[in-house]
Structures are given as structure tokens and as C-alpha cells.
């Protein structure tokens, strides 16, 4: 029922919610303009300075500040954040909240972590207010975020380090403006290329279906149904969805090739810019779940400044130190991330919205999820508690069902029908509350954005140490991304108390033959 409902209605988000996201984008742009006006000129004179290199530098710092405080990706109702609509700073400034260190021990935020995070915010604001960005400003941001990232990978991911931190380091290593413009061009090109590269699989067609069904622009029920083979009996992607998926992949791969090969003004540059604008306009207009809207605005703005504003610069002008940095962080790391997704998160891998994500589903018996708030320091209430003053009980059940549908409708979600009987262990599903791992991560960590590594066995262990769930009281299904050159998905079923119950490698080909709701059967690889 929820899958058929998603196909024609999407998440069912009220139009006013989309308007709120539009207002947030306007606030994001206004904030950047105000910071720029302190050193580049008045807002009335914005036409004379908005394409200057310093304006782009400040846009990068402002975007990092906007994201790391929790106002960017993963905020608002489209990520199951209602009251409050953000996490971010509400968690990162609060001692005792859960952190995920990359090195060292300890999983609770201490005062030193709070002070480091506050120092990062101060460093970003100081840089934004400075007449020009000096090395000390960039060193402060990069150094503090680097230390913070080692102590908590959640903050590193929330700051969009694979993009913003790399570009800050490009600014720092550059000997002149030309070098950092060239290095930034290379980073932008890598973002587009690997976003397209990661979609060379069987997952993306389902992403197209799910996104189109939820689009505030595509309101036609007839067209939404055409995205599926035979609504409502067969909700696998239709030929139309496959064609659109291939077109989108080709577009993402074409934009960097064209723009990076452009050596000056001319028709080729115009074609590249038009394709780039078409790509990001489509993404932004469809308001994808996870809402990376401000990031898309920054990518478009950066492309205009870099490629349109400075067509005489090419990536060959970046210099050796920057070339080594970009090659390592924006080429080698994404390649390794695509081949070894279990070891490298999807953001550093630049596998943006490819549908090939690590994910999890958490099954809480009865009201056992209350143990989270009883034993962990959390700012956000349980999701149903956030919205019980907004909706009646039936509507709340429907909303949570739509979250379930979102997961099931993707190709990797078809693993759940195979794994669910094992996870239940003979018990009835009605005895459990089904919660997507993204929601659990948002509640426990304060930030979530499609990264299943934030809510995998490691976080389950942290939660179990604090909450002490009894055997059978909390069961989790974990599914890893499909590695490049592999045809299977690595899946695990865990009990919070008893540990690993089941492990399998499920065939992607077999999953493609299943409906999102098919229960039982085998999909071994």
C-alpha cells in the first residue's frame, strides 16, 4: 500500500513545506551577500563584485558554516526533522551527545569537542568578515576541522569536507589566484564526473522513479505512473525511467568533460554552461530527499565564477602541490570508495544520489525505542513526539509508512523482503516499530544525509552499551553499497544483545526481478 501510494503521491509533503525550503535558500544567499558586502561593496553594487574570486571564496566558507551548523543537507521535514527542524549545532555544542571518532576512544562529546566546534564557527565567521582571506584564516579553518574530524567523523561529513575542506586547502596551497581557480575547477569537475560515474549501475533508474513521484514540479499522476512498468502491480522502473536515468548519467559525465576541455570563450563553453544549468535546475526543482539544495546552489555559482568568469584559466595552471592534493582527494579517494564502499563513506566517494547507498532498518519491539531518550543525550524528541501536535495518529502512521516506502522502492530496499523474516525470528512484524536508520542517526548523532555508515554496527554497539536492550528487543538489518565490479550487496542481521544473526551477499540481478514488497524467497549471490 505504501509503495503504491509513493508512486502517485511521493512523500505527500504539503506545498507550504517546499515554500519553506525556498525561503531557506533565499536566506542562504542573503547571508552570503551580507558577508561579502563587508569587504567587496554594498548590496546595491552587487553586480560589480558577485563574480569576483573573493566572493567565491567567501561562498565556500559561508556554505561550510551553513552546513556544519545543521541548516543545509539533512534539515527540515523532508528528512523527518520537524521540531526542531535542525540538529547540527544543537548537538555539536552539547556535551554528552554521541560522537563517532575516526581515531582514539570515547563516544561521548566532551567539553574539548564543544570548544573545538565553537572555535571552528568563530574561525569561519572571522574569515567571512575579513577584507581578504589570508593564510591564517584558511589554516585556522582547515586545522580545526581536521582535528574535529578525527574526533568525530559526523562533523567532518556535515561540513561537506570532500568539497569545502578540499577547496579551502586549494586556496591555502595556491601561489596566486590563477592556481586556486584552476584547482577549484578540477574539484568541481571531479564532483560532476564521479557523481555520474557512480550511477553506472542498476540502482539509478529506481532513484529517478522515486524522485519523480515526489517532485513538486511533476504533479501529473499519469506521468508518475508511467515511471513504473505496470502501476500498481509492477513498480519496477519502466523503460521511460531507464531512459531518463541513462540521460541523467550522460549529462553528469558530459558537463565536466566539456567544461574542463574548454580553453577560452566560445560555443563549447556556452554548451557546457547550459548543460550544467539544466542538470542542477532539474535536481533542485525536484527537491530530492535529503534536500542538498544549498549545495547545488553553490556548485552552480562556483561553476559560473570559475568557468564562465575565468575561461582563460585551465586545470593545467594549478601547480604541482594542488595537483597532488586534488588527485588524492578528488580522484583516487572516489575510485577507492566506489571499489571499496564498506571502507569509505559515500560523500568522500562522491557517489551523490546514485541510489547505491549503505542503509539500515531498525526494529524496536513495542515501546523499547524510549530507551534511547532515557539513556542518551539527545536534543530531538522521538519522531512521533515531534509531530503529534501537528497530525493525528492515522496521519503519523501514514507519514512513517512513506519513509518505509522510500526505502523499499529503491533497488537495495528489495533486500529487506529477503532479510525481514530472519530479523523477526518468527515474531510478528506488528510487535515491532520499523524505523529507518537515517532517522535513528538523526536523533542520536544530530546529523544524517544518506550515509549508512553513521548507523551501522558501530552505532548499534554504542546504543546497546548505553541502553542495554534485551535479546529480541532491537533487531537491525544492515545493507552495504554494491562495490564497483561486483554483483552483490553485503547484508547483515544483528540483534542488539546477541550480535550477528545472519550474513549474506544478495545478488543484484535477483533483486531486480523482485517487487519492493515481495517477502521471503532467496536472492543469494
Residue 224 contacts residue 7 (beta carbons within 8 Å) = yes
* Poorest-pLDDT segment among 249-253, 287-291, 443-447: 287-291
Please give the average per-residue pLDDT across 366-387, as a whole number.
Answer: 95
Give CA–CA dist 225/336, Å, rounded.
37
Cell numbers that stand for 195 in this block: 557523481
Q: Per residue, what are the HEC states of 295-328?
A: HHHHHHHHHHHHHHCCCCCCHHHCCHHHHHHHHH
Mean pLDDT (the chain) is 95
First-residue to last-residue Cα distance in the chain: 29
- H helix and E strand count, the chain: 23, 7
Contacts of 211 (CB under 8 A, 6+ apart): 286, 288, 289
pLDDT of 284 higher than 60: yes
| pLDDT in the model for residue 135 | 96
Contacts of 361 (CB under 8 A, 6+ apart): 407, 416, 434, 435, 436, 437, 476, 477
Q: What pLDDT was estimated at residue 432?
A: 96
Give the single-character DSSP code of 108: B
State whether residue 75 is helix, strand or coil.
coil
CA of residue 267 relative to chain centroid, distance: 34
- Span 403-422, mean pLDDT? 95
How many angstroms separate the CA atoms of 172 and 142, rounded?
A: 9
Count CB atoms within 10 A of the CB of residue 441.
Answer: 28
| Residue 445 domain flag | yes
Tell me the pLDDT tens digit for each residue of 318-332.
999 999 999 999 999
Q: Is residue 304 part of a domain?
A: no
Output phi, psi for 499, to 5 deg.
85, -150
Band of the pLDDT at 172, cuts 50, 70, 90? Answer: very high
Lowest average pLDDT, out of 260-264, 274-278, 486-490, goes to 260-264
Nearest to 146 by CA among 122, 169, 126: 169
Give, as one character, the DSSP assignment of residue 44: G
Region of poorest pLDDT, from 243-247, 349-353, 365-369, 521-525? 521-525
Instruction: Answer whether residue 179 is part of any domain.
Output: no
Place of cell 502517485: 8
Grid cell locating 90: 544543537
State mean pLDDT over 109-133.
97
Task: Identify whether 218 is part of a domain.
Answer: no
Q: Which domain holds residue 380?
A: 359-512
- Which of 457, 145, 324 lies closest to 333 in space, CA to CA? 324
Q: Is residue 502 part of a domain?
A: yes
Q: Given pLDDT bands bounded at 50, 70 and 90, which one contains residue 521?
A: confident
How sure is the predictor about 523, in pLDDT bands with cuts at 50, 70 and 90?
confident
Residues above pLDDT 90, as percent of the chain: 88
Is 46 contained in some domain? no
Q: Which helix (H) or strand (E) holds 248?
A: helix 239-261
Residues sharing a CB contact under 8 Å with residue 115, sequence separation 6 or more, in sequence order: none
Q: How many domains does the chain have?
A: 1
CA distance 144 to 258: 36
* C-alpha dist (Å) from residue 522 to 142, 202, 212, 328, 515: 48, 19, 30, 40, 13
Q: Cα 16 from chain centroid?
A: 23
Distance CA 17, CA 506 (A): 38
Name the pLDDT band for 227 (thresholds 50, 70, 90): very high
Predicted confidence at residue 291, as pLDDT, reads 86
Q: Is the peptide bond before 507 cis (omega within 30 degrees of 0)?
A: no
> How far is residue 415's CA from residue 272's CA, in Å, rounded to a whole number?
39
The average pLDDT across 486-492 equals 97
pLDDT bracket for residue 343 (50, 70, 90): very high
Q: Cα separation of 306 and 184, whole Å?
A: 8
Backbone angles phi, psi at 41, to 5 degrees: 135, 170
Q: Give the C-alpha separation, 313 to 522, whole Å.
A: 55
Residue 382 carries which DSSP code?
Answer: P
Q: Supply the pTM of this predicted model.
A: 0.95
| More reliable by pLDDT, 105 or 163 | 163
Spell 213-246 as b/e; 16+ CB within 10 A means b. bbbbebeeeeebbbbbbebeeebbbbebbbebbe
Whether the per-residue pLDDT at 525 is higher than 70: the answer is no
* Statement: residue 219 has pLDDT above 70: yes
Characterize the bridge pairing of strands 488-495 and 474-479.
Answer: antiparallel
Q: Enumerate the β-bridge partners of residue 502.
A: 493
Amino acid at each position: 500500500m505504501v509503495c503504491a501510494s509513493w508512486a502517485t503521491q511521493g512523500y505527500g509533503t504539503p506545498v507550504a513545506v517546499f515554500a519553506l525550503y525556498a525561503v531557506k535558500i533565499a536566506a542562504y544567499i542573503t547571508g552570503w551577500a551580507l558577508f561579502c558586502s563587508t569587504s567587496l561593496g554594498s548590496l546595491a553594487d552587487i553586480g560589480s563584485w558577485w563574480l569576483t574570486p573573493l566572493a567565491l571564496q567567501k561562498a565556500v566558507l559561508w556554505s561550510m558554516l551553513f552546513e556544519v551548523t545543521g541548516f543545509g543537507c539533512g534539515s527540515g521535514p523532508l528528512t523527518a526533522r520537524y521540531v526542531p527542524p535542525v540538529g547540527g549545532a544543537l548537538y555539536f555544542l552539547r556535551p554528552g551527545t554521541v560522537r563517532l571518532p575516526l581515531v582514539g576512544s570515547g563516544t561521548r562529546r566532551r567539553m574539548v569537542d564543544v570548544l573545538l566546534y565553537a572555535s571552528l564557527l568563530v574561525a569561519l565567521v572571522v574569515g567571512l568578515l575579513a577584507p581578504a582571506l589570508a593564510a591564517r584564516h584558511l589554516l585556522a579553518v582547515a586545522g580545526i576541522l581536521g582535528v574535529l574530524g578525527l574526533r568525530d567523523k559526523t562533523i567532518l561529513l556535515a561540513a561537506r569536507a570532500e568539497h569545502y575542506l578540499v577547496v579551502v586547502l586549494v586556496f591555502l596551497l595556491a601561489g596566486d589566484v590563477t592556481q586556486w581557480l584552476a584547482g577549484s575547477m578540477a574539484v568541481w569537475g571531479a564532483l560532476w564526473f564521479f557523481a555520474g560515474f557512480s550511477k553506472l549501475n542498476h540502482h539509478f533508474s529506481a532513484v529517478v522513479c522515486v524522485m519523480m513521484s515526489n517532485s513538486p514540479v511533476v504533479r501529473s499522476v499519469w506521468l508518475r505512473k508511467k515511471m513504473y512498468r505496470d502501476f500498481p502491480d509492477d513498480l519496477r522502473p519502466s523503460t521511460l525511467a531507464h531512459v531518463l536515468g541513462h540521460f541523467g548519467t550522460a549529462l553528469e559525465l558530459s558537463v565536466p568533460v566539456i567544461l574542463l576541455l574548454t580553453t577560452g570563450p566560445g560555443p563549447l563553453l556556452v554548451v557546457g554552461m547550459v548543460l550544467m544549468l539544466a542538470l542542477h535546475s532539474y535536481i533542485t526543482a525536484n527537491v530530492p530527499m535529503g534536500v542538498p539544495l544549498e549545495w547545488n546552489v553553490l556548485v552552480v555559482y562556483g561553476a559560473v565564477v570559475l568557468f564562465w568568469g575565468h575561461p582563460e584559466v585551465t586545470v593545467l595552471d594549478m601547480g604541482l602541490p594542488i595537483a597532488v592534493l586534488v588527485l588524492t582527494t578528488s580522484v583516487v579517494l572516489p575510485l577507492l570508495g566506489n571499489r571499496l564502499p564498506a571502507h569509505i563513506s559515500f560523500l568522500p566517494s562522491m557517489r551523490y544520489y546514485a541510489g547505491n547507498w549503505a542503509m539500515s532498518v531498525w526494529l524496536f519491539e513495542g515501546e523499547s525505542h524510549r530507551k534511547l531518550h532515557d539513556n542518551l543525550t539527545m536534543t530531538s524528541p522521538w519522531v512521533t513526539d515531534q509531530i503529534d501536535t501537528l497530525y493525528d495518529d492515522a496521519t503519523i502512521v501514514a507519514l512513517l509508512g512513506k519513509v518505509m516506502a522510500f526505502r523499499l522502492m529503491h533497488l537495495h530496499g528489495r533486500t529487506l523482503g529477503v532479510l525481514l523474516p530472519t530479523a523477526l525470528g518468527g515474531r510478528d512484524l506488528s510487535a515491532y516499530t520499523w524505523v529507518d536508520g537515517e532517522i535513528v542517526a538523526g536523533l542520536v548523532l544530530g546529523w544524517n544525509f544518506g550515509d549508512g555508515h553513521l548507523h551501522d554496527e558501530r552505532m548499534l554497539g554504542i546504543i546497546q552499551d548505553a541502553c542495554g536492550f534485551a535479546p529480541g528487543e532491537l533487531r537491525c538489518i544492515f545493507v552495504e553499497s554494491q562495490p564497483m565490479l561486483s554483483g552483490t550487496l553485503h547484508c547483515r542481521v544483528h540483534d542488539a544483545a546477541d550480535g550477528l544473526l545472519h550474513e549474506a551477499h544478495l545478488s543484484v540481478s535477483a533483486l531486480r526481478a523482485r517487487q519492493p514488497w515481495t517477502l521471503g524467497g532467496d536472492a543469494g549471490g
